[in-house]
Amino acid sequence: MAGIYIHIPYCKVKCHYCDFHFSTKTDSVPEMIQAICAEIELRKSYLSGKSIETIYFGGGTPGFIPSKYLKEILNKIQRSYSVNVDAEITVECNPDDMTDDRINEFASMGVNRFSLGVQSFDNDVLKFMNRAHNASQVYLAIDLARKHGFENITIDLIYGIPDKDFNYWKQQLTEFFKLDLPHLSSYSLTIEPKTYFGNQLKKGSLISKQDDLILEEFQYLIDSARQNGFEQYEISNFAKPGFISRHNSAYWLGREYLGIGPSAHSYNGKERGWNVSNNALYIRSLKDKMPFHTTETLSIENKCNDYLLTRLRTKWGINLDELNFINEKQLHQLRLKTENYCREGLLHKSGSVLVLSDAGKYQADGIASDLFISSDRL
């Protein structure tokens, strides 16, 4: 089983926190779709004939461009790969892109999951983040999707908003649970250097929220999700039974996937690669049959560290028995470090499996990087 990710690099507006690769200019969309379809054809052997279990349209905002283009891409994938009849097919949309006609078109082409970029139910916060939608459009979008028979819907919410107190976050989660949706992705606001917020922070006109306040909101998120029947199956992802994202779980579990489009990443167990992050160069390279993709062959240390970084974020945790491809010295050092984290209450151990405690989840990336192995330890 494998997955395909398609990066659609277009958005209506640039959100103040976003550093993803995209453009607000859409004049190149027809050429981009031609290039994406050409890449699908060019790289159809990458997954070694494996059947496709998940297809994910991300971006950017795939729901922003005419759905006929997504249909063209899906048709190309269907012709080039063996796609499971029950494949999970997700499209990222913003609430303001969800109309009766658009949702009906998505349903007719086989889309069965929506990921809505909500971020907040508060109009002032939406303006602060420069989102294109308002709160009323969120409720309308969800109602329309349900009217067309969509049950598998997830939304994104952001916590750690500067100048918003704890009650704000409590109210956001109250609104979410009222909607009775089966999945939530929730992230702390990260202020990246090359963004509007990054510039504001540099100038001193924006102050990041204190870590202890962010931690309080994160813990409330975990507790509230549990109380409402959600499982935290990954640091930032919560699902009711039967609604875990099959596509994103494949990333964290180390399964193979092909990334199509500018800036998209791929992984096949032996190597990882990434496409050029430039729309014009990507289009021109595919048109002129020029290189557009960089590949890195994974060393034993790379494979181990990728495993530690991704699996530690999940409810499945890391299984030391699965790391039999590293040498005994590396494994011994890894065991010693995990034992220290267990004593500190940041990891829980059951047999050979280690999972993060709630306290450990807040330090997930730091713990993973500390566990990394390197060849100089031989």
**pLDDT tens for residues 44-66?**
999 988 999 999 999 999 999 99
User: What pLDDT, on the 0 to 100 scale, is given for residue 44?
Assistant: 92
pLDDT digits over 239-250, tens only? 999 999 999 999
**Distance of alpha carbon 271 from alpha carbon 269, whole angstroms:** 6
**Distance of alpha carbon 132 from alpha carbon 152, whole angstroms:** 23
Q: Phi-psi region for residue 37, left (φ > 0), alpha (ψ -120 to 50) or beta?
A: alpha
Nearest to 22 by CA among 7, 37, 40: 7
Name residues whose C-beta falls within 8 Å of residue 236's C-beta, 6 or more positions apart in sequence.
185, 186, 187
Per-residue pLDDT band for 375 (boundaries 50, 70, 90) equals confident
Query: How many Cα atoms within 13 Å fall on the side-chain side of residue 132?
Result: 15
Question: Is 193 a residue whose pLDDT tops 50?
Answer: yes
CATH architecture of 299-373: Orthogonal Bundle (1.10)
Contact 54, 259 (CB under 8 A): no
Per-residue pLDDT band for 310 (boundaries 50, 70, 90) equals very high
Question: Is 134 a residue whose pLDDT tops 60?
Answer: yes
Question: Is 183 a residue whose pLDDT tops 70?
Answer: yes
H or E stretch including 226?
helix 211-227
Question: Is 79 a residue whose pLDDT tops 50?
Answer: yes
Mean pLDDT within 351-359? 97
Name residues whose C-beta falls within 8 Å of residue 180's C-beta, 6 or more positions apart in sequence.
none
Per-residue pLDDT band for 376 (boundaries 50, 70, 90) equals low
**Distance of alpha carbon 248 from alpha carbon 86, whole angstroms:** 16
Neighbours of 85 (CB within 10 A): 5
Query: What does pTM read for this prediction?
Result: 0.96
Instruction: Give the domain ranges of the chain.
Output: 2-252, 299-373
H or E stretch including 73?
helix 67-80
User: What pLDDT, on the 0 to 100 scale, is given for residue 377?
Assistant: 44
User: What pLDDT, on the 0 to 100 scale, is given for residue 249?
Assistant: 96
CATH superfamily of 2-252: Aldolase class I (3.20.20.70)
Collapse the DSSP code of 260 into the 3-class scheme (helix H, G, I; strand E, B; otherwise coil) and give the result.
strand
User: What pLDDT, on the 0 to 100 scale, is given for residue 219?
Assistant: 97
pLDDT digits over 225-275, tens only? 999 999 999 999 999 999 999 999 999 999 999 999 999 999 998 999 999
User: What pLDDT, on the 0 to 100 scale, is given for residue 378?
Assistant: 42
Q: What is the mean pLDDT of the chain?
A: 96
Mean pLDDT within 11-29? 93
Nearest to 11 by CA among 32, 26, 28, 30: 26
CA distances from 312 to 67, 233, 319, 337 (A): 37, 11, 9, 14
pLDDT digits over 136-155, tens only? 999 999 999 999 999 999 99
